[in-house]
């Protein structure tokens, strides 16, 4: 150590500087390590989310977690709320009791012989199976045991030859210059030029593609097995002809949908092949937007672009509609709903949020609670306690909806304003509580962002408490979009703008027929023939009107399936409510 005091001071200052530099380096390393740790957490959450999407269960129904099973409306509940809770428990007991009685009846009821027989209207061919002659000698025939075996016969194609009589006028007969020399019966309007294909062929092509989701190359195999192998261009021409004949029906269904007080909307992407040149867009209502998107794609050399299918679901009318756009731009819904007045329910996409301003308050936006719950559910791995609490509260909203489903609008609105608003108040209070605040839940964490989503769209999420006609979520429309997703998985892409618009029109008709539980083949066949014959009363040709006059074409088993599924859900929810007793 130096003896000089000044030298000691310089040594201490140098050591202090080194210590401060090392401390600063340690702090930088710690901050860097914290960032890497946070990044690792975020990446792990993304991996968990992707694994859940790929391999996890799709249902959001949960039975685990803190408070997840209990319908607790809080200590400050009003007498009306407490009374409703007690009524819910009593109703749950009755639902469970009725379900158990029905189950016992089904178990104790012996199977009827008619349950083992096929429908009576099916044709029957008898085949006698007997013993060989050498074994029948000396035996007396006392009867037969009948066993019904169902057979499948491949569909058959046949060619119908129409011979139109031709008559020539006698030469000596005086006739006007415009009168034809040869007279023949008037020929009906065919599906294609020359009447080469019957309406039944067009029905098969359309139903196979948009009902059974079979692309043209698979349809070739089906037709080929019946003895005729059409080219894909022929099938495409048949589809074009059917859509042209039924296009006014699709437009009528879209107009009818917009008479409902509440409409759900959702969308999904589809690949659109980039054209080599801009198609003719004269008189097209979206020509400007389509031209911009296609011109940009052609200039950049993109082989394809991401187009969009939009689905619209009327909350109370038995009709659905589809639309096709070249991009996910808000001009799609704005154009379809240009003359609509009512409530639009959907996710909180930016194009929906200001639709009330763009429509001069004709349209009110309502947010979907299923989307909000989904964002919260994705945070379960990192925040199990908070997520379980929030999901239990959201589940109460759905329990209330389950109880008031059969009530009239006035009573339903009254229950929502008393019960649902109480639960919504509990959700809002918990979102502002210490459990959902920093440092327990950081604003940039996935749960922090999910909570911010709920807070940001709180008014839209409360819209159902202001109007009894507004559902709590947009799940019906989301399920409708599964038809597009399933079809897209099979036919992969749309080859042109006109092909996408044709698909939207045909899916509008078929989707509405499915919603009305109709035999799609029978409906399309009758409506297409009547349209080709010149009938233009599209109201009478709409699926819900056609259904009333064709009860034999209603698929009752679909109604039974939905009823059984609803009963199972009702019993499940009743058992959960009973736990509060």
CB 363 within 8 A of CB 381: no
The residues pairing with 363 across neighbouring beta strands, listed in sequence order, are: 342
Which alpha helices (H) appear in 363-442, and where do they start and end? 369-377, 384-403, 409-415, 421-431
The residues pairing with 346 across neighbouring beta strands, listed in sequence order, are: 367
Q: What is the pLDDT of residue 68?
A: 43
Q: What is the pLDDT of residue 394?
A: 93
CB 320 within 8 A of CB 512: yes
Q: What is the pLDDT of residue 174?
A: 55
Q: What is the pLDDT of residue 115?
A: 57
Q: What is the pLDDT of residue 178?
A: 66
Instruction: Report, as ranges of residue numbers, the positions in the chain whose pLDDT lies below 50.
Output: 64-71, 73-75
456 Cβ contact partners less than 8 Å away, ≥ 6 residues apart: 348
Q: What is the pLDDT of residue 69?
A: 39
pLDDT tens for 184-212 read: 888 888 898 888 999 999 999 999 999 99
Q: What is the pLDDT of residue 67?
A: 44
Cα–Cα distance measured from residue 70 to residue 43, given in angstroms and rounded to the nearest whole number = 34
Cα–Cα distance measured from residue 162 to residue 188, given in angstroms and rounded to the nearest whole number = 11
Residue ranges of domains in the chain: 201-354+494-534+541-549
Instruction: Enter the tokens of residue 372.
Output: 């909000």
488 Cβ contact partners less than 8 Å away, ≥ 6 residues apart: 268, 270
Q: Where are the beta strands (DSSP E) in 261-409?
A: 262-273, 304-314, 320-325, 342-346, 363-367
The CA–CA distances, whole Å, from 530 to 191, 246, 498, 545, 573 equal 12, 10, 25, 14, 47
Q: What is the pLDDT of residue 65?
A: 44
For residues 191, 197, 200 and 206, what is the CA-based torsion angle, rounded to 10 degrees?
-70
Cα–Cα distance measured from residue 305 to residue 273, given in angstroms and rounded to the nearest whole number = 7
Cα–Cα distance measured from residue 365 to residue 43, given in angstroms and rounded to the nearest whole number = 34
Instruction: Enter the tokens of residue 231.
Output: 């080219």
The CA–CA distances, whole Å, from 312 to 57, 229, 271, 301, 544 equal 27, 37, 20, 33, 17
Which alpha helices (H) appear in 133-231, and where do they start and end? 133-136, 199-210, 216-225
pTM for the complete prediction? 0.84
Cα–Cα distance measured from residue 242 to residue 201, given in angstroms and rounded to the nearest whole number = 10
Cα–Cα distance measured from residue 312 to residue 494, given in angstroms and rounded to the nearest whole number = 20
Instruction: Report CA Rg, the chain.
Output: 33
């Amino acid at each position: 150590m130096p003896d000089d005091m000044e030298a000691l001071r310089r040594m201490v200052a140098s050591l202090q500087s080194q210590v401060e530099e090392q401390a600063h380096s340690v702090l930088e390393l710690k901050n860097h390590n914290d960032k890497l740790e946070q990044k690792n957490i975020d990446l792990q959450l993304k991996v968990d989310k992707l694994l859940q999407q790929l391999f996890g269960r799709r249902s959001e129904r949960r039975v685990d977690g803190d408070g997840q099973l209990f319908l607790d409306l809080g200590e400050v509940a009003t007498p009306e709320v407490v009374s409703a809770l007690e009524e819910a428990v009593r109703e749950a007991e009755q639902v469970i009791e009725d379900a158990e009685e029905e189950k016992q009846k089904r178990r104790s009821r012996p199977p009827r012989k008619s349950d083992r027989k096929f429908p009576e209207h099916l044709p029957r061919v008898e085949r006698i199976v007997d013993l060989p002659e050498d074994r029948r000698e000396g035996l007396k025939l006392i009867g037969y045991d009948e066993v019904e075996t169902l057979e499948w016969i491949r569909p058959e194609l046949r060619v119908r030859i129409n011979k139109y009589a031709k008559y020539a006028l006698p030469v000596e007969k005086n006739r006007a210059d415009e009168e034809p020399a040869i007279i023949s019966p008037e020929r009906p309007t065919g599906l294609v030029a020359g009447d080469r294909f019957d309406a039944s062929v067009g029905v098969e092509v359309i139903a196979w593609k948009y009902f059974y989701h079979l692309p043209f190359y698979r349809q070739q195999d089906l037709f080929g097995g019946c003895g005729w192998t059409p080219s894909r261009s022929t099938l495409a021409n048949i589809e074009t002809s059917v859509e042209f004949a039924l296009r006014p029906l699709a437009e009528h269904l879209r107009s009818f949908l917009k008479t409902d007080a509440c409409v759900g909307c959702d969308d999904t992407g589809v690949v659109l092949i980039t054209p080599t040149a801009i198609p003719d867009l004269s008189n097209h209502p979206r020509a400007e937007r389509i031209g911009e998107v296609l011109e940009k794609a052609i200039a950049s050399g993109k082989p394809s672009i991401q187009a969009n299918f939009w689905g619209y679901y009327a909350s109370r009318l038995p009709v659905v509609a589809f639309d096709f756009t070249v991009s996910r731009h808000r001009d799609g819904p704005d154009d379809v709903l240009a003359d609509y007045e009512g409530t639009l329910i959907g996710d909180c996409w930016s194009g929906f949020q200001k639709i009330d301003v763009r429509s001069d308050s004709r349209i009110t936006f309502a947010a979907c609670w299923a989307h909000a719950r989904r964002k919260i559910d994705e945070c379960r791995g990192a925040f199990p306690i908070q997520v379980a609490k929030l999901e239990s509260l959201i589940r109460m909203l759905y329990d209330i909806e389950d109880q008031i489903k059969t009530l009239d609008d006035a009573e339903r609105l009254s229950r929502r304003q008393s019960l649902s608003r109480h639960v919504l108040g509990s959700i809002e209070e918990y979102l502002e509580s210490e459990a959902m605040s920093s440092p327990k839940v950081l604003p940039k964490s996935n749960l922090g962002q999910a909570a911010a989503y709920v807070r940001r769209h709180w008014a839209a999420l409360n819209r159902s408490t202001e109007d009894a006609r507004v559902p709590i979520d947009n799940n019906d429309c989301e399920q409708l979009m599964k038809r597009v997703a399933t079809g897209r998985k099979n036919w992969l892409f749309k080859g042109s703008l006109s092909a996408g618009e044709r698909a939207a029109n045909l899916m509008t008709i078929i989707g509405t027929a499915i919603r009305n539980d109709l035999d799609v083949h029978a409906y399309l066949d009758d409506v297409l023939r009547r349209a080709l014959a010149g009938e233009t009363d599209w109201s009478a040709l709409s699926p819900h009107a056609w259904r009333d006059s064709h009860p034999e074409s209603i698929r009752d088993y679909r109604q039974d399936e939905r009823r059984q599924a609803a009963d199972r859900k009702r019993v499940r929810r009743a058992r959960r409510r009973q736990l509060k007793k």
